[in-house]
């Protein structure tokens, strides 16, 4: 084995002044500071002083609660209410960030009018801001929502579907994709009737963009695969829906024809196979 003093000496740069004694005497080594600095820069050590200075300060929940309180005037008539929320949380929405940027530091009262928005939808939005979810929450591992004793098991009027649809369109306005996804996922958990579905479809086609396939395509697909049974329960409403929103009728018809062609192709490949239309009323939707 080579002498350890030789190995250690080989590590010292030639331009460094060094006085080494491996005996019992004091060991003194002087290394050029420029060389040491180059080593740090070259290897990008994580504990460099500049990196520590550039690291942003962690924002705590207390920091959010210390931010100014914003008044939100929501709804109209008897349903109108003044809600409040902390500005630092509201500005996670680009829409609210732009609105709050107009306030000056001298303003004593900060208020934003949302008179055209649904009160319950705004309440769900605020609950989502503070907790990351809104009631009713999804039951983990299932396609069910939390039970509400004031809500019927079957949505015959469409109110439960419309609740989440309004949250969805509000999230679109506020540019909150996470809230949109959450609301959409809860829509698929609602057990509804034909008339409830028509009320929901009418809202979707009246308040969403025609290119929003995330919410429109499942609606059309639902009616295309179940219209043979659901239409009998709400034939007048279905006809009126098609007349009021021709795009809805076209979307449904397109999927019916696509499914017909698909079945014909499968029949040619597998003549003995049979196809039974889905009868489940739970909203297992496909795009």
Q: What pTM value is reported for the model? A: 0.73
Place of tokens 């397109």: 254
Q: How far apart are CA 176 and CA 125, in angstroms?
A: 10
CB 67 within 8 A of CB 103: no
Q: How far apart are CA 216 and CA 224, in angstroms?
A: 12
* pLDDT given for residue 86 in this prediction: 97
Q: Identify any residues that bridge with 10 across adjacent strands, giving them in sequence order.
A: none
pLDDT in tens, the chain (287 residues): 545 444 544 544 555 444 444 445 544 545 454 444 444 444 444 445 555 566 778 889 899 999 999 999 999 999 999 999 999 999 999 999 999 999 988 877 899 999 999 999 999 999 999 999 999 999 999 999 999 999 999 999 999 999 999 999 999 999 999 999 999 999 999 999 999 999 999 999 999 999 999 999 999 999 998 877 777 788 899 999 999 999 999 999 999 998 888 877 777 777 765 554 544 445 555 44
Half-sphere exposure of 144 (CA within 13 A, CB side): 9
* pLDDT given for residue 284 in this prediction: 53
* pLDDT given for residue 10 in this prediction: 52
Give the residue from 117, 134, 129 showing the smallest Cα distance to 89: 129
3-state secondary structure the chain: CCCHHHHHHHCCCCCCCEECCCCCCCCEECCCHHHHHHHHHHHCCCCCHHHHHHCCCCCCHHHHHHCCEEEEEECCHHHCEEEEEEHHHHCCCHHHHHHHCCCCCCCCCCEEEECCCCHHHHHHHHHHHHHCCCCCCECCCCCCECCCCCCCCCECCCHHHHHHHHHHHHHHHCCCHHHHHHHHHHHCCCEECHHHHHHHHHHHHHHCCCCCHHHHHHHHHHHHHHHHHHHHHCHHHHHHHHHHCHHHHHHHHHHHHHHHHHHHHHHHHCCCCCCCCCCCCECCCCC
């Amino acid at each position: 084995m080579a002498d350890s003093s030789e190995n250690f000496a080989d590590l010292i740069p030639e331009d460094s002044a060094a006085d080494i004694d491996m005996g019992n005497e004091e060991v003194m080594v002087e290394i050029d500071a420029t060389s040491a600095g180059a080593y740090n820069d070259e290897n990008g050590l994580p504990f460099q002083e500049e990196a520590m200075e550039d690291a942003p300060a962690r924002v705590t929940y207390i920091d959010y609660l210390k931010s100014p309180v914003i008044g939100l005037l929501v709804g109209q008539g008897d349903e109108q209410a003044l809600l409040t929320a902390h500005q630092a949380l509201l500005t996670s929405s680009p829409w609210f960030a732009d609105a709050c940027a107009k306030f000056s530091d001298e303003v004593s009262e900060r208020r934003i009018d949302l008179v055209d928005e649904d009160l319950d939808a705004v309440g769900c939005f605020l609950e989502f801001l503070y907790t990351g979810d809104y009631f009713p929450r999804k039951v983990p591992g299932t396609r069910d929502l939390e039970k509400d004793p004031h809500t019927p098991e079957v949505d015959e009027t469409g109110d439960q579907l419309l609740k989440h649809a309004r949250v969805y369109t509000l999230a679109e306005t506020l540019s909150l994709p996470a809230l949109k996804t959450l609301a959409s996922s809860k829509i698929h958990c609602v057990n509804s009737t034909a008339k409830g579905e028509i009320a929901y479809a009418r809202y979707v086609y009246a308040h969403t963009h025609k290119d929003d396939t995330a919410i429109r395509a499942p609606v059309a697909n639902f009616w295309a695969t179940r219209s043979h049974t659901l239409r009998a329960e709400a034939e007048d409403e279905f006809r009126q829906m098609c007349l009021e929103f021709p795009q809805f009728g076209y979307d449904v018809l397109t999927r019916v024809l696509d499914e017909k062609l698909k079945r014909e192709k499968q029949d040619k490949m597998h003549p003995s196979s049979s196809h039974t239309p889905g009868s489940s009323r739970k909203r297992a939707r496909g795009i």
